[in-house]
Amino acid sequence: LLGIDVSKKDNFALWYTRVITYSEMIDYYDISGCYILRPWAYSIWESIQRWLDAEIKELGVENSYFPLFVPKSVLEREKDHIEGFAPEVAWVTKSGDSDLAEPIAIRPTSETIMYPLFKKWIRSHRDLPLSLNQWSNVVRWEFKDPTPFLRSREFLWQEGHTAHATFEESQKMVMDVLNLYKKVYEELLAVPVIQGRKTEMERFPGGDITTTVEAYIHGSGRSVQGATSHNLGQNFGKMFEIQYEDKAGGHAVPWQTSWGLTTRSIGVMIMAHGDDKGLVLPPRVAPKQVVVIPIVKASLSAENKAALQSYAERITTDLKAAKIRVHLDHRDNYTPGWKYNHWEQKGVPLRLEVGPMDLDKGTARMVRRDSGLKVDLAAEAVVHTVLHVLEEIQANLFAKCKAERDKKLVKVWEWRDFVPALEEKCVILTPFVNETEWEEEVKRRSREEALAGESEDARTATSAAAKTLCIPFDQPDLPPGTKCFVSGKEATCWVLWGRSY
């Protein structure tokens, strides 16, 4: 097949599979849940990394690297931290033919690897704040159906881990990082997110406060956690007996944070912006922002072919000089039409067509990937127009995504309106009593009412149930006496619900 040949709205899962393969981002691997990140995808991860790495360093964080392995005795140091997650842990039990004395876990996250060293390094208040990050892979043997980028058994991420003398300082770090995550999504990936706090049921049990950025995928109507930033309180400090001599000469336990953003962010961007022709890349992370395509007609004389080639090369050189990521596709074994389709599937924001007429008139035809708009430009106007239009495309993608999300962001006050709104692919704000048993009840009833007697595979990554996404920091007005939408009890806050990945 030359084209994607399936519409995003008709079969979202198949559309996504076609987009990530035809754009040469992903290839499949023998082990379920493991994928190859090809250069077109890896380049996007590098752009995210480059921006985020510089920003966390501004916060005083330093990069480091800890071992991939953690002994069973250390990983299971505190039962309540690990109990819910145990099935996801991958173990090394042998080397060659011989069994290891003690099974060794492959890191699913690095708290238990790092914090024994934090204990060793943090002795005085002068050792604080300790702020480390590592860019690495992690392994979680997920049970649910895998989806490239969104849910894989190995993924790339950064995990930040800090220790502070006061709660206030730790909470500032939690929020400073959460604001960086919002910028990664909104300013790099052009995807709007809602910041908030996870409910008691959804928060990381090892921490005290879990904050999150929640994205909405218009095509599937599902929401997805974009990244998390936790205030761990003193829990891990107590668990790992981290203590230091404070200014008054007494013993104190530091206040810690941990925070992570993963390659899932790339999947969110693909789903948010892709269309029926394939990927649509935000210019700020596009591996190539412009592709120059010479239109070489066979009838052209040799010198005209050469003239056209050098004209296209000059335009390419001018763009490179302006730090624009440009590619000249002068392959003579593909037609211009084939190339248009190919680079559209790869989501390149701008195409510049350069034909014999353009050579004569000193022009080039600029075609926008997001809107399809075609504009003929004078060669000397190409660079500054391209720079301007790339910014326009970035803003346009964000605006389109935000409009789509806002159209589906609804308020519901009564239970009877809740499941119908889910069926309409909405993400739903409700007044809520914010008690775990009522959260469980909503999960159960929303699945039951949506399935209406049908069953649901436990492995499904696309459950019919609604779950809480977050308690948005930006709370709508809640007049006293407002009733919880499901329990009828006094509502204590507005909560965001949705079907999610």
Ligand X SMILES: O=C(C[C@H]1NCCC[C@H]1O)Cn1cnc2c(c1=O)CCCC2
- The verdict on 23 binding ligand X (CB under 6 A) reads no
Q: Based on CB atoms, which residue is closest to ligand X, 328 or 470?
A: 470
Q: Based on CB atoms, which residue is closest to ligand X, 388 or 459?
A: 459
- The verdict on 12 binding ligand X (CB under 6 A) reads no
- The verdict on 418 binding ligand X (CB under 6 A) reads no
Q: Based on CB atoms, which residue is closest to ligand X, 136 or 462?
A: 136
- Joined together, the tokens standing for residue 50 give 């480059």
- The verdict on 171 binding ligand X (CB under 6 A) reads no
Distance of alpha carbon 239 from alpha carbon 383, whole angstroms: 58
Neighbours of 95 (CB within 10 A): 9
- Joined together, the tokens standing for residue 433 give 């009593």
Distance of alpha carbon 320 from alpha carbon 91, whole angstroms: 48
Q: Based on CB atoms, which residue is closest to ligand X, 159 or 353?
A: 159
Sequence-distant (6+) residues with CB within 8 A of 4 are 15, 18, 19, 22, 276, 277, 278, 345
Residue type at 278? G
Q: Based on CB atoms, which residue is closest to ligand X, 109 or 316?
A: 109
Taking contact as CB under 6 A, which single stretch among the options 82-90, 263-271, 305-313, 369-377 is the one that binds ligand X?
A: 82-90
Taking contact as CB under 6 A, which single stretch among the options 84-92, 181-189, 217-225, 408-416 is the one that binds ligand X?
A: 84-92
Indicate the Cα dihedral angle 328, 329, 330, 333, nearest 10°: 170
Element at 298 (helix H, strand E): none
- The verdict on 204 binding ligand X (CB under 6 A) reads yes
Is the separation of the CB atoms in 310 and 296 below 8 Å? no
Taking contact as CB under 6 A, which single stretch among the options 190-198, 257-265, 327-335, 401-409 is the one that binds ligand X?
A: 257-265
- The verdict on 192 binding ligand X (CB under 6 A) reads no
Q: How far is the CB of 437 from ligand X (least distance, A)?
A: 23
- Joined together, the tokens standing for residue 267 give 């999947």
Taking contact as CB under 6 A, which single stretch among the options 256-264, 318-326, 410-418, 483-491 is the one that binds ligand X?
A: 256-264
- The verdict on 259 binding ligand X (CB under 6 A) reads yes
- Joined together, the tokens standing for residue 496 give 């965001």
Q: Based on CB atoms, which residue is closest to ligand X, 8 or 198?
A: 198
Binding residue for ligand X (CB under 6 A) from 48, 56, 89, 470? 89
- The verdict on 348 binding ligand X (CB under 6 A) reads no
Q: φ, ψ for residue 35 (rounded to 5)?
A: -135, 160
Q: Among 156, 177, 139, which residue's Cα sits nearest to residue 256? A: 177
Q: Based on CB atoms, which residue is closest to ligand X, 87 or 480?
A: 87
* DSSP β-ladder status, 255-262 and 350-354: unpaired
Binding residue for ligand X (CB under 6 A) from 4, 113, 159, 348? 159
- The verdict on 226 binding ligand X (CB under 6 A) reads no
Q: Is the peptide bond before 129 cis (omega within 30 degrees of 0)?
A: yes
- The verdict on 311 binding ligand X (CB under 6 A) reads no
Q: How far is the CB of 108 from ligand X (least distance, A)?
A: 3
Q: Is the peptide bond before 349 cis (omega within 30 degrees of 0)?
A: no
**Which residues, in sequence order, are bridge partners of residue 98?**
95
Alpha helices in 260-372, H assignment, sequence order? 264-273, 302-321, 336-345, 356-361
Binding residue for ligand X (CB under 6 A) from 42, 66, 69, 85? 85
Q: Which residue has the tokens 């084209």?
A: 3
Per-residue binder mask for ligand X (CB under 6 A), 104-143, x = binder: ----xx------------------------------x---
Distance of alpha carbon 235 from alpha carbon 114, whole angstroms: 14
Longest dimension (CA), the chain: 87
Number of residues binding to ligand X, judged by CB under 6 A: 15
**Which residues, in sequence order, are bridge partners of residue 131?**
162
Q: Based on CB atoms, which residue is closest to ligand X, 159 or 439?
A: 159
CA 216 to mean position of chain CA atoms: 11
Taking contact as CB under 6 A, which single stretch among the options 38-46, 80-88, 169-177, 340-348 is the one that binds ligand X?
A: 80-88
Taking contact as CB under 6 A, which single stretch among the options 12-20, 254-262, 289-297, 342-350 is the one that binds ligand X?
A: 254-262
Neighbours of 193 (CB within 10 A): 26
Distance of alpha carbon 262 from alpha carbon 281, whole angstroms: 18
Q: Based on CB atoms, which residue is closest to ligand X, 227 or 280?
A: 227
Q: How far is the CB of 204 from ligand X (least distance, A)?
A: 5
Binding residue for ligand X (CB under 6 A) from 258, 316, 363, 394? 258
Binding residue for ligand X (CB under 6 A) from 131, 212, 220, 228? 228
From residue 250, alpha-carbon distances to 243, 306, 339, 486 in Å are: 10, 79, 70, 49
Q: How far is the CB of 220 from ligand X (least distance, A)?
A: 23
Q: Among 240, 223, 197, 202, which residue's Cα sits nearest to residue 84? A: 202
- The verdict on 88 binding ligand X (CB under 6 A) reads yes
- The verdict on 422 binding ligand X (CB under 6 A) reads no
CA 250 to mean position of chain CA atoms: 43
Q: Based on CB atoms, which residue is closest to ligand X, 151 or 288?
A: 151
Q: How far is the CB of 235 from ligand X (least distance, A)?
A: 12
Q: Based on CB atoms, which residue is closest to ligand X, 70 or 389?
A: 70
Distance of alpha carbon 485 from alpha carbon 437, whole angstroms: 14
- Interface with ligand X (CB under 6 A): 82, 85, 88-89, 108-109, 140, 159, 204, 206, 228, 230, 258-260
